[in-house]
């Protein structure tokens, strides 16, 4: 058995308040330069909605990610020859209208204008041409849906719903939304790296972060086309690609990534995942309805003596294995099976996982039935955000894994309400725990890590500082080798 490690993340969507602090912190730290106005390495979307860039999930249009053909993976963008053929004008890039024309204001007009009776205003002007513009799109243009169902109605994931269910979701007085923070997933099988003709994108051996080597980037922009999450960007000033670097300089000096540290909702967790590279390769090729299960099967138990022995043989350090055993990601993703990958059908094996959100109970189901009256906690079918919608986002359409995750979340709530509020009977709470196949101890552990985590519990890093534990590197190298195998 071969054992590899990767730094992975979990975002708990029930806790995100949509404050955009994460986006602003990231922007101030990394992309406040001219040429990177449109780069939102971290952005927060309102769902249902179209996201940023709009309709990034529509791979018929953007042709990002991988497709499995006869057990083989191919870039949706096309073969290597096809990629080279399109070198000078990749046809599937987001346009300026998609990512908006960066604008600024002539603030001087406010100070130098002649005295007048009306309030002075500064019209927006293009940051590129200096000419006046009327912005009509932006990174969070549809924030909180802007009081309209128009953006929600364009969400590609609604195609997974029955017409009656879709119509019920979009009724304005029933409309409910949640926030989806997104950044580069630092995928195990990154399409951006596979598509780069210059070989400028690589996974760091130390932590698995996917980064661009600026001195090698020739600005071909194939990574922008190939990333199905649209998380690489082209700088119109530097003439090269840039993307989230996972705040590795901060991690190497013992700090959490900036967006994790600043997150007001404390929704962000980070830690080590151990995985079997061969099984991960199989997971990337699995049929859609098996993708999440196959992904989980590739993850390894860091407390298993066989895994520990194999990891040591492979050069993984004791410090790293200790961090893997304390990893909140291992608990949310592998042990509790609560956190799910975003669009696993893109087959990049993303390393950011999401705990799906609960939502208010519907007054009337799409089939006309009313939810059980008096029930304090709803069944998954009674939630206003339909399971089919969440399954389209987080499980390649597999409703079962979403229902199981929602069942665990409601069971934990029932358990806690029975203990603290008293409006759920002990028998009902016990039944829900049993239905969700978790024990009281597990429910308590989920509650603890969800509600009261300290920063040290949310962010558990192995000793990654090169000067501290340089022997960590050999065990983690080979991630790139795995990528090459998946490409071949």
Q: Is beta strand 43-47 parallel, antiparallel or unpaired with respect to 268-275?
A: unpaired
Min dist CB 47 to ligand SF4, Å, is: 12
Q: For residue 188, count CB atoms less than 10 angstroms from its CB and return exposed for 0-12, middle for 13-18, buried for 19 or more.
A: buried
Contacts of 103 (CB under 8 A, 6+ apart): 124, 125, 126, 127, 133, 135
483 makes contact with ligand SF4 (CB under 6 A): no
Min dist CB 250 to ligand SF4, Å, is: 16
Which range binds ligand SF4 by CB under 6 A, 166-174, 258-266, 448-456, 470-478? 258-266
Region label for 374, one of left (φ > 0), alpha (ψ between -120 and 50) or beta (otherwise):
left
The residue whose two tokens read 């992975």 is: 8
Min dist CB 5 to ligand SF4, Å, is: 17
Min dist CB 17 to ligand SF4, Å, is: 5
**Contact set for ligand SF4, span 26-45 (CB under 6 A):** 44
Q: How far apart are CA 2 and CA 315, in angstroms?
A: 11
Q: How far apart are CA 288 and CA 275, in angstroms?
A: 20
Region label for 347, one of left (φ > 0), alpha (ψ between -120 and 50) or beta (otherwise):
left
Our CB check for ligand SF4 shows the closer of 191 and 482 to be 191
Would you state the structure tokens that stand for residue 251, as one six-digit string?
């991690």
- How many residues in the shown chain lie near ligand SF4 by CB under 6 A? 28
Our CB check for ligand SF4 shows the closer of 283 and 377 to be 283
Contact 230, 191 (CB under 8 A): no
458 makes contact with ligand SF4 (CB under 6 A): no
Site pattern 400..439 for ligand SF4 (x: CB under 6 A):
----------------------------------------
Min dist CB 406 to ligand SF4, Å, is: 20
Residue 392 neighbours by CB distance under 10 Å = 24
Our CB check for ligand SF4 shows the closer of 234 and 243 to be 243
181 makes contact with ligand SF4 (CB under 6 A): yes
Min dist CB 481 to ligand SF4, Å, is: 16
191 makes contact with ligand SF4 (CB under 6 A): yes
For the chain, the straight-line distance linking the first and the last C-alpha, in angstroms and rounded, comes to 21
Would you state the structure tokens that stand for residue 101, as one six-digit string?
């024309």
Strands (E) across 129-236 are located at 178-182, 201-203, 210-212, 232-234
76 makes contact with ligand SF4 (CB under 6 A): no
380 makes contact with ligand SF4 (CB under 6 A): no
470 makes contact with ligand SF4 (CB under 6 A): no
328 makes contact with ligand SF4 (CB under 6 A): no
**Contact set for ligand SF4, span 208-227 (CB under 6 A):** 210, 227
Would you state the structure tokens that stand for residue 414, as one six-digit string?
């029932």
Our CB check for ligand SF4 shows the closer of 65 and 271 to be 65
Which residues contact ligand SF4 (rule: CB under 6 A)? 16-22, 44, 179, 181, 184-187, 190-192, 210, 227, 229, 231-232, 243, 263-265, 267, 348
């Amino acid at each position: 058995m071969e054992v590899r490690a990767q730094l992975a993340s979990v975002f708990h969507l029930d806790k995100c308040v949509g404050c955009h602090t994460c986006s602003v912190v990231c922007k101030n730290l990394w992309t406040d330069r001219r040429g990177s106005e449109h780069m939102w390495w971290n952005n927060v979307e309102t769902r249902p909605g179209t996201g940023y860039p709009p309709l990034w999930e529509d791979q018929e249009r953007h042709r990002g990610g991988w497709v499995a053909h006869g057990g083989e993976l191919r870039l949706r963008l096309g073969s290597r020859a096809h990629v080279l053929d399109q070198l000078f004008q990749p046809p599937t890039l987001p346009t300026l209208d998609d990512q908006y024309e960066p604008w600024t204001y002539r603030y001087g007009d406010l100070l130098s204008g002649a005295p007048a009776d009306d309030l002075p205003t500064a019209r927006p002007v293009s940051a590129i041409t200096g000419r006046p513009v009327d912005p009509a799109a932006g990174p969070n243009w549809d924030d909180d849906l802007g009081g309209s169902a128009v953006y929600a109605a364009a969400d590609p994931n609604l195609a997974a719903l029955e017409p009656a269910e879709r119509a019920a979701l979009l009724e304005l007085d029933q409309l409910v939304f949640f926030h989806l923070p997104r950044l580069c997933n630092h995928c195990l099988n990154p399409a951006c790296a596979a598509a780069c003709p210059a070989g400028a994108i690589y996974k760091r051996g130390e932590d698995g972060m996917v980064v661009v080597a600026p001195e090698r980037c020739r600005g071909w922009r194939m990574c922008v086309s190939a990333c199905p999450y649209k998380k690489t960007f082209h700088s119109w000033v530097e003439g090269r690609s840039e993307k989230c670097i996972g705040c590795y300089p901060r991690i190497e000096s013992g700090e959490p990534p900036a967006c994790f540290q600043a997150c007001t909702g404390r929704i962000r967790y980070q830690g080590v995942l151990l995985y079997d590279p061969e099984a991960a390769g199989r997971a990337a090729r699995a049929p859609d309805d098996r993708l999440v299960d196959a992904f989980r099967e590739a993850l390894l138990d860091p407390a298993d003596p066989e895994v520990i022995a194999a990891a040591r043989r492979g050069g993984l350090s004791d410090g790293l294995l200790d961090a893997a055993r304390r990893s909140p990601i291992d608990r949310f993703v592998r042990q509790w099976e609560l956190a799910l990958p975003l669009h696993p059908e893109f087959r990049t094996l993303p390393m950011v996982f999401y705990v799906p959100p609960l939502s208010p109970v519907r007054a009337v189901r799409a089939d006309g039935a009313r939810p059980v009256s008096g029930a304090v906690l709803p069944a998954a079918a009674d939630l206003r955000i339909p399971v089919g919608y969440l399954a389209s986002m987080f499980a390649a359409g597999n409703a079962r894994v979403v229902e199981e995750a929602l069942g665990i979340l409601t069971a934990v709530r029932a358990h806690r309400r029975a203990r603290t509020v008293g409006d759920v009977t002990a028998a009902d709470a016990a039944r829900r725990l049993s239905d969700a196949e978790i024990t009281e101890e597990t429910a308590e552990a989920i509650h603890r890590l969800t509600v009261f985590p300290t920063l040290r519990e949310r962010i558990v890093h192995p000793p990654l500082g090169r000067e501290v534990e340089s022997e960590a590197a050999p065990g983690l190298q080979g991630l790139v080798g795995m990528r090459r195998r998946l490409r071949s």
